[in-house]
Amino acid sequence: MSLDTQRDPVARVLTPPPILTPDEIDAYAALRTDAVWWEAQGHWSSFRGDKAVDALNGLITNDVSTLEIGQGMLAAALTAKGKMVCDMIVIRTDETTLLMTVLSTAAPAWLALTRKYVNPRLCKVTDESARYRTWMMYGARSAPAIAALGGADATAENLGDAMVSMLEQWPTWRHAPWNLGRVSVRLIRAPLMGSRPGFVLMADAEDAELVQARFESAPIRKGTRNTWNVCRVEAGRPAIGLDMDENTIPQEANLDSLGAISFNKGCYTGQETVARVHFRGHVNRHLRGLMATAPMPQGAEVFDGSGKAVGDVRSSVISPRLGPIAMAMIRREVAPGDTVFVVGDRDPIEARVLALPFPSE
């Protein structure tokens, strides 16, 4: 077929997917049978006060008024026009306190949004980036790995099968105080890696060295950013700045199917656009999966079989299990199962379109 690759006059920045090292491949494999830990790049902030729930509810897509103490959720913050500012995890720690973590690169935009829209008489918004540090533990045996790091009573190192069973039965987004030896932390059951279970762990920055040493001394593999990105793409989890940006409506990035949007709550910044799409129409493009036999460069344009430009590649990785895969923003008329062609600086790469997430087996 013939593709007109000169349609876009703007030069595209093409980035090939990284090739995993042998150690990274081993860590990826360990997720299926054991556990892997990461140092996270999250940025924490807080809403505190009697009106904290109301203030946050007026700013994000999900309904935090439904949260009990010890529960959490995904949500997104939007511009007044309904475009993405950032996605976030929200947890409720007591009656008047909500904590949020966003990707560190998105923190300036998020904090600027709070300064613009939150009345300081309603609640106190605080940048907590200097107060908290974050780690993650994921994999088939993440619960036993967490229990082995240190449990909830005194300085017990491994509280046995009962503790492991309890952790495995925690509902999604549950969080609670936890002990790593003598250090008190907060443990969050966060579904950030698709079907792979796991936890986010946050600690006071003053305890960070002790927590880090605990992880470093455990017989558990440490993951890299490359390994995390492969797992994130397989799970269909969009990243702000890569798969979604200031031009993205949250439904385009599938945040509705990921449980980050409430369509029953009151008004919030950007709601009109989100509600109009949901109740009256549709988005014109969706974040889809692409599977190919050759690596697909990030930033490459995507064409359908007739030579029409239908999207572009966002996150691109090489999965040890699935081979070259990517997330791409694709026009809605291109359906899962269709064949498309990814055009970078070499010959077109044939790819198959899939609904996200990618197959887990």
Asked if 201 and 138 touch (Cβ cutoff 8 Å), the reply is: no
Query: pTM higher than 0.85 for the full model?
Result: yes
Contacts 24+ apart (CB under 8 A), 303-309: 303/3, 303/340, 303/341, 303/343, 303/348, 304/334, 304/338, 304/340, 304/341, 305/1, 305/338, 305/339, 305/340, 305/341, 307/1, 307/2, 307/3, 307/4, 309/7, 309/8
pLDDT at 155: 32
Asked if 199 and 229 touch (Cβ cutoff 8 Å), the reply is: no
- Give 236-295 as a DSSP string: T---BTTTB-TT--GGGGTTTTTT---SSS---TTHHHHHHHHHH---SEEEEEEEESS-
Tell me the domain boundaries of the chain: 133-217
pLDDT at 151: 52
pLDDT digits (tens), the chain, 361 positions = 445 444 443 567 899 999 999 999 999 999 999 999 999 989 999 999 999 999 999 999 999 999 999 999 999 999 999 999 999 999 999 999 999 999 999 999 999 999 999 999 889 999 999 999 999 999 999 999 998 887 544 333 445 577 788 888 899 999 999 988 889 999 999 999 988 999 999 999 999 999 999 999 999 999 999 999 999 999 999 999 999 999 999 999 999 999 999 999 889 999 999 999 988 778 999 999 999 999 999 999 999 999 999 999 999 999 999 999 999 999 999 999 999 999 988 899 999 999 999 998 7
pLDDT at 190: 96
Residues contacting residue 219 through CB under 8 Å, at least 6 positions apart: none
